[in-house]
């Protein structure tokens, strides 16, 4: 089969991956599932993998097939698999977990002691077929297109995981800020609208993204390139501040919003990454606020997100690309030229 493989870490995205002929994966364990990939989302994390940012954390061995946002049709299942069978449409949770360690017993999929992460620690879904496991596949509701929803396997579940935590702290009429209405943020905003009665303010640097935010249900918008975010939020909330920030950018600038924007006891959810938190301890004490990290999400949360998708509450904005266009996608994303999510169709 054909697969997009990373042979060497590089900062040059235009020829980062090569299309290689490799062996098709086979079931060798009772819980294995082989999925024919209908769609595999391209993520900013893929760019970071190419740059070598994840080498130490994931113990990568090159060459490796990238792609961790995967959905498709089951073609083969091990003898112990009862959840799915050949012909079923599925979306794949990005982590293959053991099910027996303490983290798994507590439902904390991303902290599994024996975690395998296709596309980051082993071969992923930028290929015609993917090897995964029964614990990682979620049967899709009728009418849900696996190609269209593939990015929910990481982008969607990550946004949902952050929003679900925020919604627990939001009462009707309280305020939330969504920072960044791009590939993750446009999902998070829709989930927030579907799951809460909060007043939502979207913060972006692009007018087109702010128009999209309004279309998706934002009550207020702020262009942070032209306006002072703290002053605008102060006016919107009549000086009360916001109770939750969902930061899908995670830059030095956006991570500084918390002490100036949050109401006392609020949370700044860090979803995007790349920046640094540089706040004095006294600012956290005075504001009694938290920075909360977001590492993907759980299997049940991906199931819940698929229910919102099937109900029509969350609509992905995607563009499809063939496998041989994959380096073009990497370069476009590096330069911020992709709106919504890119989906590779091997």
pLDDT, tens digit (0-9, with 9 covering 90-100), for 64-116: 999 999 999 999 999 999 999 999 999 999 999 999 999 999 999 999 999 99
For the entire predicted model, the pTM comes to: 0.94
**Same fold yes or no, 2-154+297-345 and 157-293:** no
More confident residue, 339 or 24: 24
Domain spanning 157-293: CATH superfamily: NAD(P)-binding Rossmann-like Domain (3.40.50.720)
Q: Which of 21-30, 58-67, 272-281, 337-346 has the highest mean pLDDT?
A: 21-30
Q: Is the pLDDT of residue 231 over 90?
A: yes
User: How far is residue 207's CA from residue 227's CA, in Å, rounded to a whole number?
Assistant: 12
Q: What are phi and psi of 294, to 5 degrees?
A: -140, 115
CB 205 within 8 A of CB 182: no
Closest CA to 216 of 315, 337, 321, 334: 315
Predicted confidence at residue 59, as pLDDT, reads 83
Three-state DSSP class for residue 261 = helix
pLDDT digits (tens, 9 = 90+) for 259-273: 999 999 999 999 998
* pLDDT for res 339: 82
Spatial distance between the Cα atoms of 346 and 343, rounded to a whole number of angstroms: 10
Computed over every residue of the chain, the mean pLDDT equals: 96
Mean pLDDT of 302-320: 95
Fold of domain 2-154+297-345: Quinone Oxidoreductase; Chain A, domain 1 (3.90.180)
Which pair of tokens denotes residue 254?
């956006």
pLDDT score recorded for residue 228: 97
Residue 274 has pLDDT above 90, yes or no: no
| Cα–Cα nearest to 153, from 124, 111, 194, 196 | 124
Would you kindly state where each structural domain of the chain is located, as residue ranges?
2-154+297-345, 157-293
For position 326, what pLDDT does the model report?
97
pLDDT tens digits for 11-37?
999 999 999 999 999 999 999 999 999
For residue 71, what are the CA distances in angstroms to 37, 87, 129, 265, 335?
6, 13, 10, 39, 26
Contacts of 276 (CB under 8 A, 6+ apart): 252, 255
CB neighbour list of residue 150: distance below 8 Å, 6 or more residues apart: 38, 39, 40, 41, 69, 70, 71, 91, 343
pLDDT digits (tens, 9 = 90+) for 144-164: 999 999 999 999 999 999 999
pLDDT at 60 exceeding the cut of 90:
no
């Amino acid at each position: 089969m054909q697969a997009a493989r990373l042979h060497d870490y590089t900062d040059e995205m235009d020829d980062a991956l090569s299309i290689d002929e490799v062996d098709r994966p086979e079931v060798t364990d009772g819980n294995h599932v082989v999925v024919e990939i209908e769609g595999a989302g391209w993520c900013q994390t893929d760019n970071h993998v190419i740059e070598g940012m994840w080498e130490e954390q994931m113990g990568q061995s090159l060459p490796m097939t990238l792609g961790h946002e995967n959905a498709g049709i089951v073609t083969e299942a091990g003898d112990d698999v009862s959840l799915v069978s050949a012909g079923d449409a599925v979306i794949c949770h990005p982590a293959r977990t053991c099910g027996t360690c303490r983290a798994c017993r507590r439902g904390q999929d991303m902290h599994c002691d024996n975690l395998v992460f296709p596309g980051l620690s082993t071969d992923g879904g930028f290929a015609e077929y993917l090897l995964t496991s029964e614990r990682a596949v979620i049967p899709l509701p009728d009418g849900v297109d696996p190609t269209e929803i593939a990015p929910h396997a990481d982008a969607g579940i990550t946004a949902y995981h952050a929003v679900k935590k925020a919604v627990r702290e939001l009462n009707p009429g309280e305020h939330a800020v969504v920072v960044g209405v791009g590939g993750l943020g446009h999902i998070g905003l829709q989930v927030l609208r579907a799951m809460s009665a909060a007043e939502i303010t979207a913060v972006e640097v692009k007018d087109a993204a702010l128009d999209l935010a309004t279309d998706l249900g934002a009550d207020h918008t702020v262009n942070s390139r032209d306006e002072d975010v703290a002053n605008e939020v102060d006016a919107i909330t009549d000086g009360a501040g916001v109770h939750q920030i969902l930061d899908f950018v995670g830059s030095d600038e956006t991570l500084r919003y918390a002490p100036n924007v949050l109401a006392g006891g609020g949370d700044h959810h860090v979803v995007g990454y790349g920046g640094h938190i540089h706040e004095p301890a006294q600012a956290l004490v005075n504001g009694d606020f938290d920075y909360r990290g977001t590492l993907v999400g759980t299997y049940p949360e991906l199931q819940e997100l698929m229910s919102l998708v099937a109900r029509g509450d969350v609509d992905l904005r995607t563009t499809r690309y063939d496998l041989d266009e994959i380096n073009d996608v990497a370069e476009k994303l590096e330069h911020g030229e992709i709106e919504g999510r890119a989906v590779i169709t091997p």
